[in-house]
A and B are shown apart, each in its own frame.
Chain A
Amino acid sequence: MNTAFEKQDRTGPVLFRTYEKGSGLKKALSMERNDILDELRESKLKGRGGAGFPTSTKWMIVAAASDSKKYVICNADEGEPGTFKDRVLLTEYPELVFEGMVIAGYTIGADEGIVYLRGEYFYMLSFLEKFLEDMRSNGLLGKNILGKDGFNFDISIRLGSGAYVCGEETALIESLEGYRGEPRNRPPFPVNTGFMGHPTIVNNVETLASVPHLIMNGGAWFCEMGTDKSTGSKLFSVSGDCDSPGVYELPWGTTIKELLKIVGAENAKAVQVGGASGICFGKKDFSRSLAYEDAATGGSIMIFNESRNMLHVLKSFMEFFVEESCGQCTPCRIGNVKLLEGVEMIERGEFTFEYIEKLKDLGRTMQVASKCGLGQTSPNPFISILENFKDEIFNPREVNEAV
């Protein structure tokens, strides 16, 4: 079966602008590797997968490594609840993602790229494989790409099997190597010791997809958009109570309020920015801007209107983490269970404020003591929802202060 995907009518400043297949790659291959790195540095492009690490730094470390084998991994695990922008990129703009990988390979001196594709995206596998095949026959992949002597690069696709934590880059590598998908100790970082022990860059789909445009138009052009610290644009996966859910490309720095207006959700009560592990903002915070330095997000925006019970929202997030923790480290494995129990206590009206404060404190320990980003961020909704919606959650009800 060969599924074709119809490109929707999308417009946007970077990713959704028109692009001629192969042009970015062609230009990149005519450049010196260092010039590509300079361009990247100038653009101040940061990782779109959530952590926001400067992409140029990552690439530079691997480019400087002396290992004869290096890898480019495209993180297409897209497991964060409420995120679906990578899916759009992969199905509608695969040329951007794959060319981004080839450019990365050229820049750092790798000859192998791997796409770690979310298990649930199995349906697009044959389409993507076909696309790669076409790229090979057009000389965009394989040996001596676009006639560039000695530059070989190929891409393979591997499927995940449905664990959220496998989106964490070291767990992803562990999973690729055939082990249980569990985060590693960091350091070492993948840039030093990555896939099969070799220097590896792991980048989000969107990060890689930005690269060909960036090469075509230059780092300075990229910086014209967004804020000083968050340059360029971002894809937002908007879902929930709004008129037009979907994927939007907006410059960084857009406020929550502006975004709500665009998607038709001006009556929103709450916005969860950054997926389940993100922060939930109430009306008073809608003037905050979406940017790494303010309301950071890997792209997930979930909108809740007045009809939603925020405690239920919180409960479903915590249930998610209890299930998705890899179970390796103590704070996350047991901590999330305790937070969920706390939510259930509130639900039943059997709690003390003192205990809830204790749980928030526990959440703060989880944020600093967990082994990986999952446990470090899973208390975010607990802390932010109980804080920002305390009136709704604690007041309308008869609070039974049972001890």
Chain B
Amino acid sequence: MTMKTELRSPVSQRPHIIPSVKDRKGIGAEVAIELNGEKLHVQMGKTILEVCRENNVHIPTLCYHEDLCIAGNCRMCVVEVEGMRTLQAACAFPITGPVKIKTFSNKVRKARKHILDLMLSEHYGECYSCVRNNNCELQSLAKEYGVDGYEFGHVCESRFEVDRSSYAVVRDMDKCILCRRCVRTCIDLQEVGVLEAIDRGYDARIGTFMDKPLADVICINCGQCINRCPTGALHANDPSDEIWKAIEDPSKHVVIQTAPSPRAAIGEEFGLPPGRSMTGQLNTAIRRIGFDRVFDTNFSADLTIMEEGTELLNRLRKAIVEKDESVSLPQFTSCSPGWVKFIEHFYPEHLSYLSTAKSPQQMFGAVIKTFYANEQGIDPKDIVTVAVMPCSAKKFECNRPEMNSSGYKDVDYGLTTRELAKMIREAGLVLPDLPKSNFDEPFGEASGAGLIFGATGGVMEAALRTVYELVTGRPVPFEGLNINPCRGMEGIKEASVKLENCTDQFSFLEGVELKFLVAHGTANAKTVMEMFNRGELAGYHFIEIMGCPGGCIGGGGQPIPTSEEIRKLRAKAIYEEEASLPVRKSHENPRIKYIYEKFLSDGPCGKLSHKLLHTHYVKRGKFIT
């Protein structure tokens, strides 16, 4: 994603940016350097780290993350620059002259080992009892530098209490190495800013406002900090023990739904490169684990499109036909719980613009505990619904007190991609080796529209396919139904489509240019909201916002590491899979038709829908008592 130019992180955490000259032949664009004795021509303004990576010279890093601005505080990446008294942080040193660099001299190796030894001396935690075992940057550096003992002693007592207050994020500061990636993530990438370094010297630590538990501050549960933490200091609140218990309880009917993004990413947990879709294998794994049914969240994504699309049309009708000026337009999507909590905290005055439709996860839960329970003759109290999500905010969402319109909790547990992978490993299964199998009936089929919800722009694309066709009776005028302006990793995307030759029912929309905007990551959401506050969104109709960079494929429950490259590959997997599906519009999904016939018989946004599939929001505000 494109990094915003205006960052809120203090400048101490940022490097000197020298705009690189694009035309490599231009005078001053290139500079001759020496890297470990090898002569190279590199672009002026690049950091030593960038140049090393381009030339396959490995530099150990900890505070550096390519999604974030540069801190230069861990000092792991130090290198020797000839003529300079001190070692230089490769990540923060822009090349502006003909430097000679040594990346593994004795002085450098010794310094790095010292730094690592210092970190380990303060690191309270054992790898074998840590969620990040085998996927921890600190641990792999310890291996890289052959650490075989504690050179400067080792803490033997915990210094911090583990903060388990949040439904989404657990903070175990004993494992924190103070790289501050989480701080930069929260403040720059997400524009939330609940984490900050507090105190100084040896007492320095990452804290929240007044050291309050994470559940009591304005954390939006996006989990982006988890995805960028190099260690096990941040991890998601894992409900898998309880899920195992439910599976093993014969009186419980355990139903699981899987969202599109986990399937596109879970292979990474099993050593596959990013971008391999595992849909069929995952179904098999889930069945073997012992879940009673496995359903496709794409079904309820289709349902969301029907509800949200209808809601939009209703709002438009009210505004245009009834000339009702109190109608809130544009309509904002509401399927990302990170974004929902963000707007509740930061723009509570604009909650009426949010679609009232629940997210696909919650809709499915409600349908399972009503329609499905009834059809199958199972008492809803005996049904346990689990949702496999790419997202940590879903854990908070399913625990929102208002999410129980059926009389039961819509969704009992939100399980992340990482946690499901753990359960699969616990069951002794090797995911990529499993045979493929399909989803269970009666929700066995979903449209491609539901599938692309996983990537930024997907909801918009899916909604347009349906809304346009409902209004005009024709498919959207984009080749192969691919609404390309919605796709890609640009922070804010926009496009429009003109509604012409509308059906009689929607003649009031004749000639209307439907304008829409797509944003991902709450920093971009903030930009959009500021545009909205300045009145720049007048004339727009529909706005998709996803709380996480890249959309759900970059969610806080997805495999670690993450980078824009990885997110792009996951998105690609989703779009490729969807292009091959027979049904690609939500309203054409036969199971959707079926449920509106048999159950939600007063149609989208009808009475029953309203009860089960829609919700309301909480004006939270920024100020914490």
Contact = CB atoms under 8 A, between A and B. Distances in A.
Contacts of A341: 153
Nearest to B92: A185
Contacts of B12: 170-171, 174, 179-180, 182-185, 328
Nearest to A340: B202
B9 to A, nearest CB: 9
A315 interface: no
A14 interface: no
Contacts of B73: 328-330, 371
B202 A369 contact: no
B369 interface: no
A192 B16 contact: yes
Contact of B86 (A182, A321, A336, A376): A376
B194 to A, nearest CB: 16
B114 interface: yes
A329 B178 CA distance: 8
B22 interface: no
A331 B118 contact: yes
B202 A327 contact: yes
Which secondary structure dominates where chain A touches chain B? helix
B75 A329 contact: yes
Interface in B77-95: 78, 85-87, 89, 92-94
A327 B72 contact: no
A337 interface: yes
B201 A324 contact: yes
Contacts of B153: 338, 341
Contacts of B118: 330-331, 334-335, 338, 362
B233 to A, nearest CB: 15
Interface residues of A, number: 46
Contacts of B14: 184-185
A73 B520 CA distance: 41
Interface in A140-192: 163, 165, 170-171, 173-174, 177, 179-180, 182-185, 187-188, 192
A247 B150 CA distance: 47
Interface in B1-55: 10-12, 14-16
A241 to B, nearest CB: 29
Contacts of A336: 201-202
A24 B507 CA distance: 82
A32 interface: no
A324 B111 contact: no
A365 interface: yes
A173 B204 CA distance: 20
B114 A174 contact: no
Contacts of B381: none
Contacts of A184: 11-12, 14
Contacts of B581: none
A326 interface: yes
A322 interface: yes
Contacts of A362: 114, 118, 152
A326 B87 contact: no
A322 B122 CA distance: 14
A358 interface: yes
A224 interface: no
Contacts of B89: 185, 371
Contacts of A371: 72-73, 75, 89
Contacts of A188: 16
A365 B114 contact: yes
A368 interface: yes
B200 A369 contact: no
A193 B12 CA distance: 12
Contact of B202 (A171, A322, A328, A329): A322
B151 A187 contact: no
A271 to B, nearest CB: 25
B204 A369 contact: no
Interface in B50-106: 70, 72-76, 78, 85-87, 89, 92-94, 96
A370 interface: yes
Interface string A306-325: 00000000000000011111
A170 to B, nearest CB: 7
Interface string A182-221: 1111011000110001000000000000000000000000
Contacts of B86: 367-370, 376
B608 interface: no
Contacts of B11: 173-174, 177, 179, 184, 193, 197
A26 interface: no
B121 interface: yes
B114 A369 contact: yes
Contacts of A370: 75, 86
A354 to B, nearest CB: 11
Contacts of B87: 368-369
Contacts of A170: 12
A333 interface: yes
A344 to B, nearest CB: 12
B72 to A, nearest CB: 4
A188 B85 CA distance: 17
Contacts of A193: 11, 16
A36 B94 CA distance: 32
B107 interface: yes
Interface in A15-45: none
A326 B204 contact: yes
B82 to A, nearest CB: 14
A369 B201 CA distance: 17
A327 B204 contact: yes
Interface in A224-275: none
A333 B201 contact: yes
- B12, B119, B178, B199 pick with most chain A CB within 10 angstroms: B12
- B76, B96, B115, B197 pick with most chain A CB within 10 angstroms: B115
B110 interface: yes
Contacts of A337: 202
B75 A330 contact: yes
Contacts of B148: none
Nearest to B205: A327
A382 to B, nearest CB: 14
A358 B118 CA distance: 12
B157 interface: no
Contacts of A328: 12, 73, 178, 197, 204
A243 B121 CA distance: 45
A325 B200 contact: yes
B115 A369 contact: yes
A338 B153 CA distance: 9
B322 interface: no
A185 B64 CA distance: 13
A358 B201 contact: no
B152 A338 contact: yes
B121 A334 contact: yes
B203 interface: yes
B151 A369 contact: no
B122 A334 contact: yes
A371 B88 CA distance: 9
Interface string B243-261: 0000000000000000000
27 contacts: A163-B200, A171-B12, A177-B10, A179-B10, A179-B11, A182-B12, A184-B14, A185-B14, A185-B89, A187-B93, A197-B11, A325-B204, A327-B203, A327-B204, A328-B73, A331-B114, A333-B178, A334-B119, A334-B121, A334-B202, A336-B202, A338-B121, A361-B110, A362-B118, A365-B115, A369-B114, A371-B89
Interface of A: 163, 165, 170-171, 173-174, 177, 179-180, 182-185, 187-188, 192-193, 197, 321-331, 333-338, 341, 358, 361-362, 365, 367-371, 376
Given A324-B200, A358-B152, 5 more contacts: A182-B12, A330-B74, A333-B202, A338-B153, A368-B107
Interface of B: 10-12, 14-16, 70, 72-76, 78, 85-87, 89, 92-94, 96, 107, 110-111, 114-115, 118-119, 121-122, 151-153, 177-178, 196-197, 199-204
The list of the 6 closest CB pairs from A to B, nearest first, reads: A327-B204, A179-B10, A188-B16, A334-B118, A185-B92, A365-B114
